[in-house]
């Protein structure tokens, strides 16, 4: 944690201590969306100062938010402004809606403004208490965010260094790619092999590279059965081959003649090539 983060964390902890009933804070609750955000301006004592400001997710929209906040701050003799953004921690990784707040949050922090997060779960639970009805509306949600901040029910807006953000991004990419890899392997074995060449499945774990070559170029067992053994080797393993590999490929070649697999059409052959290339 760098010096700026330490200062921001201290300011956040101070905010949590003094926000309840404060008469010097302007609270700006923002319901974040993809193209346009909704902002509500109020005080920690529950007073509404400006019910609704709709601003675009652009630099002009952000500047409009600042101008409105500064004007209300001066008009009502308030000393501090705190901006609250609704988000869901789980959604930040798994859903694009969890990323809409990031450009606005980063811009606010770079402009040295106090920024906090409000959990989407807390907003959902507080919605009934706020107006007695269980409905979803952008204007009401921005007021809901402000209400939760006035109660001190907010989270520190983490803004890590670029190096840490890049590391997290790469780890997230690795998890997604591993998940994609596993999904392709499962589909190849449980769909392609189980239906069209079930005898090959027992050899898949022994030599995945050879099995993938067979799936890519000759998934249809009848095609393999129509090839001489040397021709089959040239198709699936044209490079230097060891004795164990040759024995394994010969066993597969022999089993192809008596395979119980279903007939393979051109669309399945194309699907097999796409899946193997995607896996690699």
Residues 8 and 55 in one domain: yes
Q: Give just the sign of the alpha carbon dihedral 188, 190, 196, 199.
A: positive
- pLDDT, position 132: 56
- pLDDT, position 93: 42
pLDDT tens digits, residue range 28-53? 999 998 899 999 999 999 999 999 99
Distances (CA, A) of 140 to 8, 66, 81, 129, 225: 28, 21, 20, 12, 69
Q: Which of 77, 66, 120, 128 is nearest to 98 (CA)?
A: 120
Residues 272 and 150 in one domain: no
What is the domain extent for residue 83?
Answer: 3-163
Residues 8 and 143 in one domain: yes
Residues 235 and 109 in one domain: no
CA dist., res. 109 & res. 127, Å (int): 28
Confidence of residue 196 (pLDDT cuts 50, 70, 90): very high
Lowest pLDDT segment from 130-144, 155-169, 178-192, 253-267: 130-144
Q: Which of 56, 125, 111 is nearest to 83 (CA)?
A: 111
Structure-token match 């074995």, residue found: 189
pLDDT tens digits, residue range 120-133? 888 888 876 765 55
| CB contact at 8 A, 31 and 141 | yes
Residues 71 and 153 in one domain: yes
Instruction: Tell me the two tokens of residue 260.
Output: 């119980």
CA dist., res. 279 & res. 191, Å (int): 15
DSSP string of 177-238?
HHHHHHHHHHHIIIIIIHHH-GGGHHHHTT-HHHHHHHHHHH-SHHHHHTS-HHHHHHHH--
More confident residue, 140 or 164: 164
The tally of domains found in the chain comes to: 2
Residues 195 and 99 in one domain: no
pTM for the full predicted model: 0.72
Residues 14 and 49 in one domain: yes
| CB contact at 8 A, 221 and 253 | no
In three-state form (DSSP H/G/I as H, E/B as E, the rest C), the secondary structure along 29-51 is: EEECCCCEEEEEEEECCCCEEEE
* CATH code where residue 16 lies: 3.30.420.140
Residues 154 and 275 in one domain: no
- pLDDT, position 272: 95
Residues 114 and 200 in one domain: no
- Whether 238 is in a domain gets the answer yes
- Whether 59 is in a domain gets the answer yes
């Amino acid at each position: 944690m760098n010096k700026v983060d330490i200062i921001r964390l201290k300011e956040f902890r101070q905010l949590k201590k003094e926000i309840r009933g404060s008469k010097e804070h302007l609270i700006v609750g923002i319901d974040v969306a993809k193209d346009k955000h909704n902002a509500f301006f109020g005080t920690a004592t529950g007073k509404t100062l400006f019910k609704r400001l709709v601003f675009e997710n652009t630099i002009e929209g952000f500047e409009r938010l600042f101008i409105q906040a500064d004007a209300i701050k001066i008009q009502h003799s308030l000393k501090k402004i705190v901006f609250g953004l609704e988000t869901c921690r789980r959604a930040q990784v798994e859903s694009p809606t969890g990323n809409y707040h990031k450009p606005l949050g980063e811009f606010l922090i770079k402009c040295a403004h106090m920024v906090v997060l409000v959990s989407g779960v807390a907003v959902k639970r507080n919605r009934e208490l706020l107006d007695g009805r269980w409905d979803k509306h952008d204007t009401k949600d921005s007021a809901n965010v402000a209400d939760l901040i006035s109660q001190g029910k907010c989270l520190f807006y983490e803004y890590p260094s670029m190096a840490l953000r890049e590391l997290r991004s790469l780890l997230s990419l690795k998890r997604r790619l591993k998940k994609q890899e596993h999904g392709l392997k499962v589909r190849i074995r449980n769909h392609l092999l189980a239906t069209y060449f079930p005898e090959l499945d027992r050899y898949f774990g022994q030599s995945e590279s050879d099995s993938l070559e067979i799936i890519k170029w000759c998934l249809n067992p009848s095609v393999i059965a129509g090839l001489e053994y040397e021709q089959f080797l040239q198709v699936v393993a044209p490079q230097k081959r060891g004795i164990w590999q040759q024995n394994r490929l010969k066993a597969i070649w022999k089993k192809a003649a008596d395979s119980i697999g279903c007939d393979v059409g051109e669309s399945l052959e194309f699907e097999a090539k796409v899946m193997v290339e995607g896996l690699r």
